[in-house]
Structure 1
Amino acid sequence: MNLNALSSLLESVTQFQQLQKSLARTETSARVQVLANAVPFVFATLSRCLRGPMLVVTPRAEDARSLYEQLIIWTGDGDTVLYFPENETLPFERLVSDIETTHQRLRTLSRMIDPKDQPCIVVSSATAVAQKSIGRQVFESSTHTLYKGQHIKFKEMIDLWCRMGYMVEPVADAPGLVSRRGGILDIFPVGSSSPVRIELWGDEIDSIRLFDPTSQRSTSLVDSVTVIPAQEILPDLTERDQLDRLIDSLDMSNCTVTTRDRISNELASLLKGGDTDGLNFYSGFFNRDSLLNFFPLDGVLALYRPSEIDDTTKANDERTYQLRDVKERRGDLPRAFPSSHMLWREVQGMMERIHRRLDITPWGAQELTNQDTYVLPFTSPPEYFGKLEKFVEDANDLANGGHCVVAVTSVPKRMREILNEYGVNANLLQCPDDIPVPGSITVLQVTGMGFNEGYSLSLNGHKLIVFSDTEIFGVAKQRRRAIRRRVARHETILSELNPGDYVVHVEHGIGRFVGTGHIPRDEVDREYLILQYAESDRLYVPMDHLDRVTAYIAPMDRTPTLTRLGTQMWKRTKERVAQSTHEMASELLSLYATREFAEGVAFPSDTPWQIELEDSFPYEETRDQQTAIAEIKTDMEQSRPMDRLVCGDVGYGKTEIALRAAFKAVMAGKQVAVLVPTTVLAQQHYVTFSQRLSAYPVKIEALSRFRTEQEQRQIVEDLTNGKVDICIGTHRLVQKDVKFKDLGLVIVDEEQRFGVVHKERLKQIRHEVEVLTMTATPIPRTLHLSLAGIRDMSTIDTPPEERLPIKTYVSEFSDELVREAIRREIDRQGQVFFLHNRVRNIDYMANYIRAMVPEAEVGIAHGQMPEDQLERSMIDFADGKTDVLVCTTIIESGLDIPNVNTLIINRSDTFGLAQLYQLRGRIGRGVRRAYAYLMIPPSSSLTELAEKRLKTMLAATELGAGFRIAMKDLEIRGAGNILGAQQSGYIYAIGFDLYTKLLGEAVEELRARNTSIGFSDETDESGKWIQEHAGNIGASVTEMPVSVDLGIPANIPQQYISDLPTRLGIYRKLIDVKTIDGLCSIDEELVDRFGQLPWQVRNLLYVVRLRFQADEAGIKSISREDGKIVLRLQDNVGGAGNALQMVMSSGVKVGHTQIHIDLNKLADSWEGPLIETVENLTAFRERLAAQLEVEA
Structure 2
Amino acid sequence: MSIVTQQIKDVKEYKGILANALSEIRAERPHPMSVTGLSEGASEAFYNELVVDIKQQSGKGVLLVCPDEKTEHRLKNALESCGRKCLVYPYRDLVFHNITASREFEHDRLNVLYAIMENDYDVVLTTPDAALQYTVPEDKLEKGLLEIDINKQYEIKEVTSFLENNGYTFVDMVDSVGQYAVRGGILDVFSPRTERPVRIDFFDTDIEQMGSFDVLSQRKIENIDSFKIIPSKEVIVSPEKREELKKAISSHLKKIVGTPAEDTVKAEYESVISGSECNFADKYISLLYPEKQCLLDYLNGKCFCVVHSYSGINDRIKSFQWHEEQNSSELIEIGSVPSKYAEFSKTGADFEEFTDKNPTLISDTFLSSMGNRRLSGVYSFVTKQTVSYFENFSLLLEDLSSYVQNKYKIAILTESEQKSKTLLNMLNDAGIAAVLGMKDGSELIKGLPCIVDDCTVGGFELTASKFVCLSLRANSGLNIKDAYKKKKKKANKKTAREKILSYADLTEGDYVVHDVHGIGQYLGLHTLTIDGITKDFVKIQYAGSDMLYLPCTQLDSIAKYIGAKAEDGTLKLSKMGGTEWYKAKTKVKKAAKDMAKDLIALYAERLRKKGIAFDKDDAMQADFESGFEYEETDGQLSAINEIKEDMEQAYPMDRLLCGDVGFGKTEVALRAAFKAVNSSKQVAILVPTTILALQHYQTISARMRGFPVKIDMLSRFSTPKQQAETVRRIKRGETDIVVGTHRLLSKDIEFKDLGLVIIDEEQRFGVAHKEKLKQLTKNIDSLTLTATPIPRTLNMAMSGIRDMSVLEEAPGDRLPVQSYVLEYDELIISEAIKKELRRGGQVFYLHNNIETIDYAARRVAAMVPDARIAIAHGRMDKETISDLWRSLVEGEIDVFVSTTIIESGVDVPNANTLIIENADRFGLAQLHQIRGRVGRSSRRAYAYFTFSKGKALSEIATKRLSAIKEYTEFGAGFKVALRDLEIRGAGNILGAEQHGHLQTVGYDMYMKLLNEAILEEKGEEVKPKRECAIDLNVNAYIPEKYIKVASQRIDIYKKIALIETELDVRDVTDELLDRYGDIPESVLELLNVSLLRKLGSDAGMAKLEKRSGNILIYPYEMDGAVWTFIAAQNRGKILMNMGSKPYVSIKLDKGAKVYEVLTQILREYMRLREELK
Query: Is the TM-score greater than 0.5?
Result: yes
Q: Is the 8 A contact 2:434 2:449 kept in 1?
A: yes
Q: 2:129 aligns with which of 127, 130, 151?
A: 127
Aligned-residue offset at 1:586:
1.6
Q: State the distance in 2 between where 1:970 and 1:438 align.
A: 59
Q: 2:365 aligns with which of 354, 362, 369?
A: 362
Match of 2:462 in 1: 457
Is residue 138 of structure 2 the alignment partner of residue 160 of structure 1? no
Q: State the distance in 1 between where 2:842 and 2:467 align.
A: 40
Change in Cα spacing, 1:558 to 1:129, as seen in structure 2 (3 Å) is same
Aligned-residue offset at 1:546:
0.2
Q: Is the 8 A contact 1:300 1:354 kept in 2?
A: no
Change in Cα spacing, 1:904 to 1:60, as seen in structure 2 (3 Å) is farther
TM-score (norm 2): 0.90
Match of 1:60 in 2: 68
Q: State the distance in 2 between where 1:281 and 1:435 align.
A: 58
1:1027-1062 CA-to-partner distances (Å, cap 9, x unmatched) read: xxxxxxxx967x342211101101111111112222
Aligned-residue offset at 1:352:
6.9
Q: Is the 8 A contact 1:44 1:71 kept in 2?
A: yes
Q: Is the 8 A contact 1:518 1:527 kept in 2?
A: yes
Aligned-residue offset at 1:848:
6.3
1:485-535 CA-to-partner distances (Å, cap 9, x unmatched) read: 999989433232112222222222222222111235353210011122233
Q: State the distance in 2 between where 1:400 and 1:709 align.
A: 51
Q: Is the 8 A contact 2:1101 2:1114 kept in 1?
A: yes
Aligned-residue offset at 1:269:
3.4
Match of 1:342 in 2: 345
Aligned-residue offset at 1:644:
1.4
- Partner of 2:462: helix, strand, or coil? strand
Match of 1:289 in 2: 293
Match of 1:877 in 2: 888
Identical aligned residues as a percent? 33
Aligned-residue offset at 1:846:
5.3
Change in Cα spacing, 1:801 to 1:561, as seen in structure 2 (3 Å) is same
Change in Cα spacing, 1:554 to 1:302, as seen in structure 2 (3 Å) is same
- Partner of 1:322: helix, strand, or coil? helix
Q: State the distance in 2 between where 1:347 and 1:937 align.
A: 43
1:277-302 CA-to-partner distances (Å, cap 9, x unmatched) read: 43444444434432233224242233
Match of 2:453 in 1: 445
Q: 1:950 aligns with which of 932, 956, 961?
A: 961
Deviates more, 1:1142-1151 or 1:582-591: 1142-1151
Aligned-residue offset at 1:349:
8.4
Instruction: Spell out the pairing of 1:309-388 with structure 2 (5 A cutoff).
Output: 309-330=313-334, 332-336=335-339, 338-339=341-342, 341-344=344-347, 347-348=350-351, 351=354, 354-365=357-368, 370-383=374-387, 385=389, 386-388=391-393
Match of 1:467 in 2: 470
Aligned-residue offset at 1:108:
0.9
Amino acid at match of 2:644: K
1:583-625 CA-to-partner distances (Å, cap 9, x unmatched) read: 2222222211221222222223234433322222233332222
Q: Is the 8 A contact 1:252 1:335 kept in 2?
A: no
Q: State the distance in 1 between where 2:328 and 2:839 align.
A: 25
Change in Cα spacing, 1:1058 to 1:353, as seen in structure 2 (3 Å) is farther
Amino acid at match of 1:1079: V
Q: Is the 8 A contact 1:496 1:1061 kept in 2?
A: yes
Q: Is the 8 A contact 2:540 2:549 kept in 1?
A: yes
Is residue 665 of structure 2 the alignment partner of residue 676 of structure 1? no
Q: State the distance in 2 between where 1:851 and 1:435 align.
A: 68
Q: State the distance in 2 between where 1:336 and 1:941 align.
A: 34
Q: 2:1031 aligns with which of 1045, 1053, 1067?
A: 1045
- Partner of 2:188: helix, strand, or coil? strand
Is residue 11 of structure 2 the alignment partner of residue 13 of structure 1? yes
Change in Cα spacing, 1:360 to 1:241, as seen in structure 2 (3 Å) is farther
Q: 2:197 aligns with which of 191, 195, 211?
A: 195
Change in Cα spacing, 1:425 to 1:961, as seen in structure 2 (3 Å) is closer
Runs of 5+ unmatched residues, structure 1: 1012-1034, 1186-1192
Is residue 1118 of structure 2 the alignment partner of residue 1113 of structure 1? no
Is residue 1102 of structure 2 the alignment partner of residue 1095 of structure 1? no
Amino acid at match of 1:199: D
Change in Cα spacing, 1:384 to 1:1049, as seen in structure 2 (3 Å) is closer
Change in Cα spacing, 1:313 to 1:623, as seen in structure 2 (3 Å) is same
Change in Cα spacing, 1:60 to 1:938, as seen in structure 2 (3 Å) is farther
Q: State the distance in 2 between where 1:138 and 1:562 align.
A: 58
Q: 1:89 aligns with which of 81, 94, 97?
A: 94
Is residue 412 of structure 2 the alignment partner of residue 407 of structure 1? yes
Match of 1:72 in 2: 80
Q: State the distance in 2 between where 1:603 and 1:1066 align.
A: 51
Is residue 640 of structure 2 the alignment partner of residue 613 of structure 1? no
Aligned-residue offset at 1:152:
2.0
Aligned-residue offset at 1:731:
1.8
Q: Is the 8 A contact 1:301 1:354 kept in 2?
A: no
Change in Cα spacing, 1:32 to 1:1142, as seen in structure 2 (3 Å) is farther
Amino acid at match of 1:13: V
Deviates more, 1:745-754 or 1:35-44: 35-44
Instruction: Spell out the pairing of 1:81-230 with structure 2 (5 A cutoff).
Output: 81-89=86-94, 92-94=96-98, 96-116=100-120, 119-230=121-232
Q: 2:521 aligns with which of 512, 515, 522?
A: 512
Instruction: Spell out the pairing of 1:981-992 with structure 2 (5 A cutoff).
Output: 981-992=992-1003
Match of 1:1018 in 2: none
- Partner of 2:530: helix, strand, or coil? coil
Change in Cα spacing, 1:860 to 1:446, as seen in structure 2 (3 Å) is farther
Q: 2:423 aligns with which of 407, 410, 418?
A: 418
Count how many residue pairs are aligned between Structure 1 and Structure 2: 1144
Instruction: Spell out the pairing of 1:956-1105 with structure 2 (5 A cutoff).
Output: 956=967, 963-965=974-976, 967-1008=978-1019, 1039-1105=1025-1091
1:270-325 CA-to-partner distances (Å, cap 9, x unmatched) read: 35532244344444443443223322424223333344333333333333333333
Amino acid at match of 2:19: K
Match of 1:1173 in 2: 1161
TM-score (norm 1): 0.89
Q: Is the 8 A contact 2:90 2:109 kept in 1?
A: yes
Aligned-residue offset at 1:401:
4.5
Match of 1:558 in 2: 568
Q: State the distance in 1 between where 2:970 and 2:462 align.
A: 47
Amino acid at match of 1:1108: K
Change in Cα spacing, 1:361 to 1:822, as seen in structure 2 (3 Å) is farther
Amino acid at match of 1:1078: D
Q: State the distance in 2 between where 1:940 and 1:285 align.
A: 32
Deviates more, 1:573-582 or 1:398-407: 398-407
Is residue 312 of structure 2 the alignment partner of residue 308 of structure 1? yes
Change in Cα spacing, 1:599 to 1:546, as seen in structure 2 (3 Å) is same
Is residue 380 of structure 2 the alignment partner of residue 395 of structure 1? no
Instruction: Spell out the pairing of 1:204-283 with structure 2 (5 A cutoff).
Output: 204-236=206-238, 239=241, 243=245, 246-247=248-249, 250=252, 252-256=254-258, 259-260=261-262, 262-264=264-266, 266-267=268-269, 269-270=271-272, 273-283=275-285
Q: State the distance in 2 between where 1:723 and 1:326 align.
A: 61
Q: State the distance in 2 between where 1:261 and 1:404 align.
A: 70
- Partner of 2:341: helix, strand, or coil? coil
Amino acid at match of 1:457: L
Is residue 737 of structure 2 the alignment partner of residue 733 of structure 1? no
1:829-865 CA-to-partner distances (Å, cap 9, x unmatched) read: 6543333444456556657666766776554433333
Aligned-residue offset at 1:129:
1.9
Instruction: Spell out the pairing of 1:650-689 with structure 2 (5 A cutoff).
Output: 650-689=661-700
Match of 1:833 in 2: 844
- Partner of 2:815: helix, strand, or coil? coil
Aligned-residue offset at 1:242:
5.5
Match of 2:43 in 1: 39
1:515-560 CA-to-partner distances (Å, cap 9, x unmatched) read: 1112353532100111222335322111011001111112474232
Runs of 5+ unmatched residues, structure 2: none
Q: Is the 8 A contact 1:452 1:476 kept in 2?
A: no
Aligned-residue offset at 1:986:
1.7
- Partner of 1:832: helix, strand, or coil? strand
Q: 1:747 aligns with which of 742, 748, 758?
A: 758
Instruction: Spell out the pairing of 1:577-592 with structure 2 (5 A cutoff).
Output: 577-592=588-603
Change in Cα spacing, 1:847 to 1:1050, as seen in structure 2 (3 Å) is closer
Deviates more, 1:768-777 or 1:687-696: 687-696
